[in-house]
Amino acid sequence: MDWQPDRESRVPIYKQLAGYIENGIGDGTFPPDRSLPSERSFAKELGINRSTVIAAYDELESKGLIERNRGSGTTISKDIWGITKKRIPSWNRYIEAGSFLPNLPVTQKIRQKSVENKLINLASGELSEDLFPMSSLREITSNRSFIGTLGYDHPQGNAMLRETISNHVKLYRSIETNPSSILITSGAQQALHLVVQCLLKPGDAVAIENPSYNYNLPIFKSAGIKTYYLKVDQEGINPDDISDLYKKHRIKMIFLNPIFQNPTGVLMAEERRKRVLELSSEYGIPVVEDDPYSLTSFSGEKIQTLKSQDCNGNVLYISSLTKIVASGLRIGWIIGPRAVIERLSDAKQQVDFGHASYSQWIANDFLESKKFEMHIKSLVSELENRKDQIVASLHYFLKEQVDFYIPQGGIHLWCRIKNEFNEVQLLEESIKRGVIYVPGSTMGSEKGFVRFTFGREKEENINEGIKRFADALSTIST
C-alpha cells in the first residue's frame, strides 16, 4: 500500500484513514466485490494501533459506507447511496465539531477521580461537607415558610436576595451598590462565561494571571479570545505588566483574583491594587475581579476589594457562596454598571430563564441571619487549622524538596518541587497511592508546581495525603 498517515498533521490518524478509504471507495481502489482489510492486518501494514483502524471503520459505518459482518469481514455497503439504508449519525464528528471546547484531558481525569471516596482529595476547590452550615440551612428549610414564587422570577434574580446582597457586600466587603446593579448567577463560573460571551468578541485580547484558575479554561478559546499573561509573585501581579500588554496587544479586559488568589494563595499588595485601578482608568480597560475568598482572612483583617476602591465603575465584581457556604447552593453574583448587568441578564435568560427561586430563598435567609457571621468565624478557624496542618506535613514529609508560599486566607497552597519530575508519572503514582491533587501545568506556564487544596479534607487526611504524595514523588525520583 502506497498510502501512509501523516503523523505531523493535526488531523487524527483515524480520520485520515477514514478519508483515504472513503476516497478509495469512490475511485475504485477498494472495489465493492472484495472485503476491506481486517482491522489487525490494516494496523500492521500501516504501523498503527488496531484501535485506530476500529475508529476509522466506526466513522465509515456511521456514514453508511461500509458494513461489518461477523464471519465475513468488512465490506462496502451495497446501498452506498443511502436510498433504503438507515444511517447512524457520526456522533464523534459532532462532538469534535462543537464550538464549545472540552476541558483538558488531565482536568477531566482529576474531576472524575475527585469523586472517588477512596482517594484523599487535595484537588477539589470546594469545602468538605462538615464545613457547610447544615444545621442553619436545615432550620431555614424546616422552620420557615417559603415566601417566594415557584414561577419565573426577575431576570436579574430575586429582588429580595439582590437587596440582601447589596447590604452584605457593603457590610463585609465595603462595596457600595444597589439591587439594580446586581445579577444572580449559578456560581462564579456562570458569571465568567456571561462576561466573556457577552462583552468580548473573537480576536479580542485579554490579560489573565499566570498561574491562575483561568489559565487553561476552554471558555476563552471557545470564544476566540486571545489570552496574555500577568505573572504572579508574592505580592500579586505587577501593574507595569498591564501597561506593557496594553501597548503591545491592546488588551480589552483584565481578569484578576487579587485576594488569596487561586492557586497561589497570594494577597495582592495594596499599592498594586491601587495602581491597577489607575491603569484601568488611564486606558479605559475594565477589570473583572473574581473574589471567592476575601472573607477567609486568617488574621480577621477586613480586606479591601478592588471594587470597594473603584470610584469610576471600571470593575465588574464576581463573587459567590460556593467557597464560603456550600457549593451545591449555586449562588453567585455579578456587580457592575446597570447597562452591563441588563445585557448579561438578557443572556442568562436565554440560557436558563433565570435562577432557581428555592435556592435564592435559602441563600437570602442565611445571609440575613446572625448565624452567617458565626459560620464565617467558625469556617475561618477550621481552614486555618487545615492550612497549619498541610504546612506542617509538607515540612515533615518533604523537607528540603519543596518550596511554597504560606497563604493567609483561602483554601489553596501552591507548591514548587525543586527537582525535575515527570508530571504525568507523578500524578499516576499519587493516584495509585490514593491521593489526588492538581498538576501545575493546568494552571500556569512554569514547570515544577502542584496545587494542594486544604478545604476538602480534615487534618488527619491532609497529613496522610501529603505522606502518600511524598511516597509517590520518592518512587518516580529513584
Q: Are 295 and 163 found together in one domain?
A: yes
What pLDDT, in 10s, does the model give residues 176-210?
A: 999 999 999 999 999 999 999 999 999 999 999 99
Query: What's the confidence (pLDDT) of residue 100?
Result: 78
Residues of 24-55 as b/e, b for ≥16 C-beta within 10 angstroms? ebeeeebeeeeebbebeebbeebebeeebbeb
Distance CA 412, CA 144 (A): 36
DSSP-derived pairing of the beta strands 332-335 and 315-320 = antiparallel
> Domain with 457 in it: what CATH number?
3.90.1150.10
Q: How many domains does the chain have?
A: 3
Q: Are 185 and 39 found together in one domain?
A: no
Query: What's the confidence (pLDDT) of residue 84?
Result: 47
Q: Are 283 and 154 found together in one domain?
A: yes
Instruction: Output phi, psi for 106, to 5 deg.
Output: -65, -35
> Domain with 31 in it: what CATH number?
1.10.10.10
What pLDDT, in 10s, does the model give residues 153-177?
A: 889 999 999 999 999 999 999 999 9
Q: How many CB atoms lie within 10 A of CB 258?
A: 25
- Mean pLDDT in residue range 145-155: 76
What pLDDT, in 10s, does the model give residues 91-120?
A: 666 777 777 777 777 778 887 777 777 899
Q: Are 168 and 315 found together in one domain?
A: yes
80 pLDDT tier (thresholds 50, 70, 90): low
Distance CA 210, CA 291 (A): 17
Residue showing cell 488531523: 11
- Residue 135, domain member (yes or no): no
What pLDDT, in 10s, does the model give residues 326-347?
A: 988 899 999 999 999 999 999 9
Domain, as residue range, for 74 = 13-97
Q: Are 210 and 317 found together in one domain?
A: yes
- Mean pLDDT in residue range 122-139: 92
- Mean pLDDT in residue range 409-423: 95
Q: Are 281 and 391 found together in one domain?
A: no
Q: Are 240 and 325 found together in one domain?
A: yes
Q: What dihedral angle (degrees, nearest 10) is formed by the CA atoms of 333, 338, 339, 340? A: -30
Instruction: Output phi, psi for 80, to 5 deg.
Output: -60, -25
Q: Look over the chain and give the mean of its residue pLDDT values, rounded to a whole number.
A: 91
Q: Are 314 and 363 found together in one domain?
A: yes
DSSP 361-373: HHHHHHHHSTHHH
- Cell triple for residue 365? 435567609
Residue pair 17/56 in contact (Cβ under 8 Å)? The answer is yes
Q: Are 344 and 394 found together in one domain?
A: no
- Residue 323, domain member (yes or no): yes
Q: Model's pTM, two decimal places? A: 0.82
Q: Are 452 and 465 found together in one domain?
A: yes
- Residue 139, domain member (yes or no): no
- Mean pLDDT in residue range 215-230: 91
What pLDDT, in 10s, does the model give residues 257-268?
A: 999 999 999 999
Q: Are 197 and 255 found together in one domain?
A: yes
